[in-house]
Every structure is written in structure tokens, then in C-alpha cells.
Chain A
Amino acid sequence: MIRISKLMPMAAAAACLTLWLGGSPFGSGPGAYADPSLAATAPSAVTRRISEEQYRQIIADVFGTSIKVGGRFEPEIRRDGLLAVGAGQISVTPSGLEQYATMAHNIAGQVVSDEHRRTLLPCKPADARAADDACAKRFLADVGRYLFRRPLKAEELDSRVAIASSTAKALHDFYAGLSEALSTILVSPNFLFRKETVEPDPEHPGQYRLDGYSKASQLSFFLWNSVPDRELLAAAEKGDLNARDGLDRQVDRMIASPRLEAGVRAFFSDMLGFDEFSTLSKDPVIYPKFGFQVIEDAREQTLRTIVDHLLRRQGDYRDLFTTPNTFLTARLGSIYGVPVVSPDGWPDAWVPYAYPQGDPRAGILAQVSFVAIHAHPGRSSPTLRGKALRELVLCQKVPSPPPNVNFTLVNDVKNSEFKTARERLTAHRTEPTCAGCHKIMDPIGLGMENFDSDGEFRLRENGVAIDTSGELDGMKFTDPVGLDKAVHDDPATPACLVNKVYAYAAGRDPAKSEAEWMKSLGQSFAEEGYKVPALLKTIATSDELYRVGPTAMGAVDIPRAKLASGKQEEEQR
């Protein structure tokens, strides 16, 4: 069987990929502007590598969940607080491309296997031991349209039909040929990267906007975390997405779809830094309840809470920090100290759970997904929790600690003189180099000290009552309930969400030139009662999400014909 690795060494393939991305090893970005002064202010089209989660979701959406995706994915990077922004600044290494190639062959092999071909292929070859170009073309055009999020160009399709044909002839196996051709689609940069294509914006002369297919991709990855469906691609093809009512109709349909849940999950996983779950562990001697299943459950608990509150209940975003409603497994119940039994008794089953009024375990900040991720393996950390709250929830940047800090006292949880974290941190803050930053982290982090490193509730540390009083930007509180309320009431909380949702959708932090737009988004979010689906709709139907500033060739695809027509239009005006 002909493999891509034989056709092209991975290092060379990766170099080609870099060229495809625009000559920069980091794809597109502000540096792509011809006029550097524009880079600081104008939004840019962005080329983003699809994430592991998106890759898996796409394969499931296009081929079904019975197709297994195995292999190691390239690491993702976080920029401006989001992996979705970092995705526009990463490429693929030679070894990463090798992994993609292996996964592609594996997936393609499953798709054409005896088990799946009857349901996944639209046709049967005239002879399974020979090439059948018509059948191959039909299949490749169909799946290629989803995987590339646009129709395959004639040369793209013809070259793959040729691969299918030659391989089928060499191996006397139509399906082997088809598998080989499909795998070339799955390793193509057109699949692995979301490369935006722009066209002149007739409503804003001199500016560009995403074309219909790129708009469709922007929408589907934003709202569904996957590729566009048939209807969205059809709308793109017809140009409906350039018309206000056409765009509104598609956005309404997408927001009403059950697939919105996947999009909301993906956004909050990114915003709350859930990629850190992959490296989360606790000392099993100190925290024997904290096994791998708790880690799995903790992530799912928060995502279920979010989806239930924001989508099913259409709740106020700020109430996520105070809501008594959540979902638990028996293992999580063991951590939180509450009884949880599913009707059928399976320990992994999820059951709805509501804390009593005033319970300190209410709200997502009290959940294992927050207090355990932002803690050390063997002890809690008011500093890490305070920093996470500032950065993830309030969008406030906390400087990194200076080098050569002496953490001996803070780490000494058995210190006979300083028995609580508050006492140890108070002593630590006497060092002037530490005091400044700790002042903005510790007072809020100490409000979560009722939660041990694994999330278990506690009232005492080393036999001493824990003082959870503190202050968040002028709002004083005495316990986790008060802290939750302060976060709920802080104007930075919804403002941060607006910023993050837009950055997530656009793949970049809002530009300075978009300050007014961000302000109006915030006002509209408040007027809509802080309902997230309404915010998603406002952003998804905005011109801003699809507008692209002056750009250099190479960062984005501008079809020559469109460039020419754009120039003509400008000249005419």
C-alpha cells in the first residue's frame, strides 16, 4: 500500500505545510499585515489548527461514533487565556504529521471495512477487486466536502480519485484504494487547519470579509465545535450567509440544535482550562478518594452543570457561581460528603443533585474541577485558586512570580507555628517581592480554603478553624457563599465571558479597534439577562465576526478573481 510517508518524508511534508500556512511557522497572525501599523489594531483572518477534541468530533459527525480515533495528538498551546486563540499560532511538527498520517490510515481503514462500508459508502464498486472511479469520486467528493468544509476543487478530487484507482489496481482491491485516497484527505492541511478564505466586503469598501464557506466554518466550529452540516454548507454555497436573514436563519437553527451542547462544552472546557485535567493527580496517601474516575467525573460534573443551567434552564450566566443545582456520581458524592444513589445503583451513573440553601458547596467554583485543578498534589493553594479566579473568570492578568522565591514556609503544611494556609501565607507575604501579587490572589483564594486539595469540604486545618473571610475588589465576604456572591455581582464576571466568547469564536483576542463593539456586546448581554445563547447569537450574527482587516497574501486565501473584482468595486466607488 502506498503511504504518504513513502511519498514524502515527514520533515519535508511539514515544511510544505509551513509554506501552505503562509511562510510563517506559526501560521497567520498580526505579522501577516503588509502595513505593520494595522496589525496592532485591525482584526485579522486566522488560520487555526483543529484541536484534538474537534478532530474527534468531526470524525464522529462525518463517519459515526463507531469509528475509533487512536493516537497521539500534537500539544495545544494557550494564548490570551484560550486554546482556541493558541490554535492560530501553532503548526505541526514532523512527528506530529506522522501521527496524523497513522490516524488517517487507521480511520480510513475502518471507514471502508466490511463492518462499515455498507452504511458509510454511497455506492458499491462494479468489481471489488478493481478500480471504480465513478464510485470513488462520489464518495470522496461527498466526505471531502465535509472534511474540507467546502467542495473539493477539481484538481483536489481528481488527484485523489487517481490515488484510489492506482492503488486499487496495484492491490486488486477497490476498498484499499479508497482507503488510501481518504487518508490523503485526512492528512491534508485543508482538513487539519481551518484556513479562512476572504472576499472583498461590498458593504465596507477596502475591507474584506470571510467568504461563505469560511463563514460556515466559523459558525460551526464556534457553535458546534465541528464541521458544518449539509444545510449550512448549502447555505454557504448559495450565498445565504451573506444576507442578514439567511445568516439569522442558520444561526437560529444551529442554536436550537442539540449540537449546541458540544459547542458550549468545548468553549467552557477551554475557558476553564480543563486541559489541565490530563495532568491532574493527587497524592493517594493524603487523598485516597481522588482516583482517575473522580477526575473524569469532575470534568463532566461542571460541564453538565453548565449545560443544564445555561441551555436547559436558560439561566443567568452569573448564577453559575451560586447555583445549588448540579449533577453527581456516587464517587463525587463521596468527595463532597453527600449521599448519591442512582435508581439503578450503578456507581458511575449521574443523578441531579441540589444543595440546600446557603450550602458552601454550591456554584462551580466549589466544584472539584476548580478547587482541585488549582491546588497542589498534596495541599490546597489559595494562591493558585485566587490566580485562576482572576485570570479565568475575571480576565485579570496576574504577573508570574519572581525567580528564586523561597516557598519553604508555604509548603510546610505541618508547621507547628503556622497551622493554616492563611497563617503561612501571611508570613510569606512579609517578603516584599511576594506581597504585591499575593495581595490580589490570596484574599479571594483563602475564601475557598474550606475545600481541601481534592475538593473535600473541611472546617479545620491541623485542628485550627479555617478563616474564609476575604475581599474581592471591594466586596467583603466571610465564607465561600459570600465569595460566590461577590463573583456573581462583579461586573468583570460577565464582561470577561463576553471577551472570551468572542475571542473563542474569532480565534484571536479582540483588537483595540473593537473596543466599542465589545462594550456593546456587554450591554446587549446584560439586556438579555446574561443568557449565554443570546450572547452566542449576537456574536454569530454580527458582521464583526466575519470582518477581516487589510491583509497580506499568504495569510489567507483570496481568490484572484475576487481580488480583481474587489479592486474594480473600489474603483467604481
Chain B
Amino acid sequence: MGLAHQLTPFAALLPLGVAFLMLALSHWLPPRSADVTSLVVSLGLVVLCGWLAIESLHGPILHWFGAWTPEVSGKPDVMLGIAFSVDPASAAVAAFCALLFAGSFVFAWGYFDKVHAHFHILMLLFLAAMIGFCLTRDLFNLFVWFELMGIAAFALTAYPLGKSSLEGAFNFTVTNALGSFLMLAGVGLLYARTGTLDFVTMGRVIASVPPDPVIAGGFCLLATALLTKAAIVPFHMWLSDAHAVAPSPVSVIFSGVMVSLGLFGLLKLIAMVFAGDAQVMMLVHVVLFWLGVATAVVGGLMAWAQRHLKRLLAFSTIAHLGVMLIAIASVSAIGTEGFLVYLVGHGLVKGTLFMIAGILLARFNSVDELELYGEGRSLWPAGIAMGLAGLLLGGLPWGLLHDATDSVHAGNHGVAGVVAIIVGTALTGAAVLRATGRIFLRWSGVPAVELVAPTEREREKGNRPLWLMLLPCVVMLAIALLPADLAESFLHSAASGLVARVVPHEGGGTLAAAITFALTILIPAASLLRRRPIRKFARRAVEAETAPFYALHVLHSGRVTDYVVWMMVGLAVLAGWLKFG
């Protein structure tokens, strides 16, 4: 019962308490006090969770709420209480969430000072939910934090009250709320079969019973909810709507960490609860792997075909989530290590890119790559940051993302996975570089597929100096440029604490990385050198090139009713593979 044990619950309780206090005083708070308080709280949580991560290297820290420890029930398999279980990976992810929030609070300094600190209240509740989601060891408690995370996110998306942001928020709410109902049904099924809600006990019970449709069904329902949150094909449609229209400081959080938390939750469930069920593990190895492949490819193609910068970044997030899912589907220590580094590296780079999109919005009232042609020259520091972030996203052989991709390649055993990672990574990096070239360098190139993409003019308040908005970008990029080797021993114990399974490492990662980076440079170069097709043959070629992208645009229709159909198709794929596969 050391200090770490006593401090663990504060990670979630402190932001909740501060949010309630701010709400109680909301009509009387002096200006800027909400900004200061939120920033201090999130920085404090970075320190707390980081320290907990290091402390937990000696063994997981368990805190039973209300002192309802396992002994109270007097029966071996009955866990009455709820525990927060701190392992290095969970605490590190929680610390990363808090770090990203701190960056977002700096970026949004003074932006949201009109509505009684309500923005900060929502953000702090959001942060508390994420930290609770990372640390909890109880299935229903996980649902509660998941749901709180959802409600805060829905509200923040609709915050600008524009036409698109309201519709985007509606689509986001309906799909994710439907996911959460399915999750609750899954929790119910698992409780009915195993009689407990505690991860570890449930895992023990599942390992001791023969494969059972109720357990498999429970997994499918939970996976649907988490894959919806994580925007995996075919559950991914809401993301491009929501992330493209949310205020940029909020999109930083959404793309940076909220969606990847869905995958982190899935990883924890697979590792702690379902590891003993052979049927479910087969589903993970096969179906989740192929869903990851599809996600990386679709996300990459769609990102390339966008002109609205925030929508482009949203699709790029989808592609990278596919790569992360491929890492998870290997269920191996090296894959998990790759996933954890990827989560952090991607979050930092994507957060930076959304902040730069926010800077463009604040200055030019647009994030349309074609409308902004050459406008960005006066903002050259932002251009340098964007170019660097694009290179990192596209596999620059340096920094966290590169090291993470290496680990993912090492844990992945399939040509399809390698190809999907190359395509997804290269196309998203290429798309960002193409936009950078057009906006900041006046490089032209006749637009092709991106011309038909949806776009809209929008506005964001530009009441902050440029250096203040660039400060978090620079810090985050600097962290993303660190090599992952610095924390090698920590990463090993964090990953093996979740998934201990060791697989033989695949070679060829270096070759794949070289191909990826070459493509990242060559594709935008080719695109920016493009001339108007004059000859008949050239026009035909352009039409043939555009057609598949056009079909993809049509499928991503923006209608929530379509999205629900795709969700059901996805659930049917999971369930049908178990039944007939």
C-alpha cells in the first residue's frame, strides 16, 4: 500500500472533480482561469501517469475502489469490487492522452472563452474518461468510461454549430451510440456465461470452458463497438465526417488518441479476457488482420483523393488505424510493442498536422488545398512543420513512427499485410506532401481525383499569435523525432506485460521501409508535375484512374442510414466467419 497505490485513483478522479468544480462556478469564473486550470491539471496528469508507468514496472498496481478487494466475498472466483490496474503500457498510454490534451489546451488558448468554461468542462470529462478507460480492469466500468468518452466527443464535434459540424456530429453520435448498445449487450452475454465482470477472473473462466457461442457472440459485439470507435472498415465511415468538421483543437484529440484508444481497449480485452478461447483468437488472427489490411488500403486511397485538408487527415488516420490493427492481429509481444509506439508516434504527428490545419483555418478561413494554392508562403514555419510531419507520416526513416513500423513488420506474417502497410503509409504521406507543396510552395500540378472531393469553406477564430499555436506543434514533432530505442527496456516490459507471446520475427522490414519512403516522395512529385491531358489517350487514362476513386467517394456518402447498414454488414462478417468460416 504505497504512495503509488494511493495516487492511482486520482488519475481519473482529479479531472472529474475539477470539471465539476468549474461547472459549479461556471458563471463566476474570471476569464482565462479555465484555460490555466485545465492546462495545469492535464500537465499534472502527464506527470502522475508517467510516474505510475515507471512505478508499475515492478509489478502491476491494483487499487480496489471502496476496498472491495477479492477477499471480501469469501469465494475464490467472485470479485465484487472494481479495480484500477496500472501496468506500464496502460499508464503510459494514459500519460500520452494527458500530454496531447495539454498540447491542445495550449493550442486553443483563449479560443473558447465565450461560453462559461463549458468547453473545458467537456474536455476534462473527456480526459477523465480516457484515463479511466486505460486503467480499469472491469468490463462494465470500461463501458461507462467508453460511453462518457463518447458523449463528450459528440458534443465537442457539434461545438461550432455549423451545418456540417452538426450533421457530422449526428452521424458520429448515431453510429457510436449504436456501437455502445452492442457493447452493453456483449457485456451482458459475457456476464451471463462467466458470472463476473473482472477482466482477469473472466479470462480465467473463459480459458476453462470449451468454446461457447455465447462467449464468441459477446466478443463480436464488444469488437463491433471498439472497431466502430477505432474506425476500422466497414465501421469507419463516421470518422471522416466527424474529424473533418470538429474544431481543430478537438480533432487533435480525436485523431491523435481517441480512435487509437478503441484499438488499445480491444488489445487489452484480447490479451486479458479472450486469450484462452481458441475460436476467438482465430477470428482475431484472420478476420481482424484482413479488416486491418482493407482499412489501410481504403484509408490511403481516400486520403489521396481529398482536397479538404482536415478530411484528408481524417482518412489518413483511418489508414494508420489499419496498420495498428494489423499489429494487434498478430497478438505477439513485438506486434504489441510496435502498436504502442505507433499509437504515440502517430498521435504526435497527426496532432501536429491538425494543429497546422487549425492555423490555416484561423488565418485564411479555409483548409481547401486548391483554394489555398500558394497562400501559405507567409506562414513558412508552419509549412516546414507540415512538410516534416508529412515525411514522418510517410515513413521517413527516423523517429518513433519509423521504429514502430519496423516492429509491426517484424510481427506481421503475410504479404498482404506488408503491401497494405506500404500502400497506406505511402499514400497518406504523399497526400500531405502534395498539399504542403501546393499551399506553401506554389507547386502546381493539375488536380485529378481530388477535384471531385467534398469540401466546404469554414471559419475558426484567429485570436491567437502564430508562435503560440506553433509551440505545441514544435514540441510534439520534437518528441516524434526521438528514436524509440531510448525507452527500449520500458517498451519490452510494457508490451510483454500485455501480450507475452513471442513469434519469430519476419525480416524485410528495411526493404519495405525503403519502398514506402520512395513512394512517399515519388507519388506527390508525379502528381505535382502533372499537366493537363490533351491527347485522347491521356484523357482516357485519367478517366480510368479517377473511376475507382469516384466509386469510393460515392460509397462514403455522408448519410447516417448507410453507415448503419455498413456496421451491420461488418458485424455479420464477424459473426458469419465464426459460424461458417
Do these two chains really belong together in a complex?
no
Binding site for A on B (CB under 8 A): none
Binding site for B on A (CB under 8 A): none
